[in-house]
Amino acid sequence: MHLTAEQGDITTVHVDAIVNAANSSLLGGGGVDGAIHAAAGPRLLAACRELRRTTVPDGLAVGDAVATPGFDLPAAWVIHTVGPNRHRGETDPDLLVSCFTRSLDVAADLRARSVAFPAVSAGVYGWDPDDVARTAVAAVRSWDDANPAAVDEVRFVLFDAAVHDAFERAL
Ligand code: ADP
């Protein structure tokens, strides 16, 4: 698997699937979630409401992942995951590992060959960017070892220079 980090806006990236750092409601929020909904258009919120009605009536659990189409995005798919919220006492790194590995499971089920991730939980959810970066890189590498050639390319797309630096260090 080809694994890279770049500074940029994940809504503009041409990959098969981008991952959204959503919240359990799936009904939109700030940060990268707000940017993805704005760029994908209103059909994304309608698809998320449909998932809430059918698949995840109580909301998406922390560490789990589900997919919708990308609608107006360059990416064909959005994989929504819910990171652990440090301000709510969700400090177990396994929850963050699960965000990355479950998202890749969903990507593989979709036959997505290229996936872009943001720094899940490194914004409003309050995790240290270096902890997120180390956890993300280790999780993706071990998923790739367990699922060889299932996904060709993972790009970490980081909005902030400091978070990008953290991912460069982790790689
Ligand atoms: P969380 O609630 O999981 O912490 P946030 O959206 O608050 O999620 O932040 C996660 C990371 O996403 C932060 O580092 C933030 O700077 C970054 N981010 C915000 N907008 C974008 C974007 N358009 N593309 C990529 N990353 C983004």
Q: Which atom of ligand 1 is nearest to the CA of 30?
A: 6
Expressed in angstroms and rounded, the spacing between residue 82 Cα and the centre of ligand 1 is 12
Arithmetic mean of pLDDT, 69-80: 98
CA-closest residue to ligand 1 atom 8:
123
Arithmetic mean of pLDDT, 90-116: 98
Inform me whether the pLDDT recorded for 28 exceeds 90: no
Arithmetic mean of pLDDT, 88-95: 98
pLDDT digits (tens, 9 = 90+) for 35-48: 999 999 999 999 99
Arithmetic mean of pLDDT, 16-23: 98
29-57 burial: b if 16+ Cβ within 10 Å, else e: bebbbebbbebbeeebbebbeebbeeebe
Active-site annotation holder among 9, 16, 33, 128: 33
For the question of residue 72 being annotated catalytic, the response is no
Question: Which ipTM was obtained for this model?
Answer: 0.98
CA-closest residue to ligand 1 atom 15:
123
Expressed in angstroms and rounded, the spacing between residue 119 Cα and the centre of ligand 1 is 6
The rounded mean pLDDT for the chain is 98
Name all residues whose Cβ lies below 6 A of ligand 1: 9-11, 21, 31-33, 35, 83, 118-125, 157, 159-160, 163
Arithmetic mean of pLDDT, 100-118: 98
Inform me whether the pLDDT recorded for 88 exceeds 90: yes
Expressed in angstroms and rounded, the spacing between residue 150 Cα and the centre of ligand 1 is 26
Contact by Cβ (8 Å): 156, 169: no
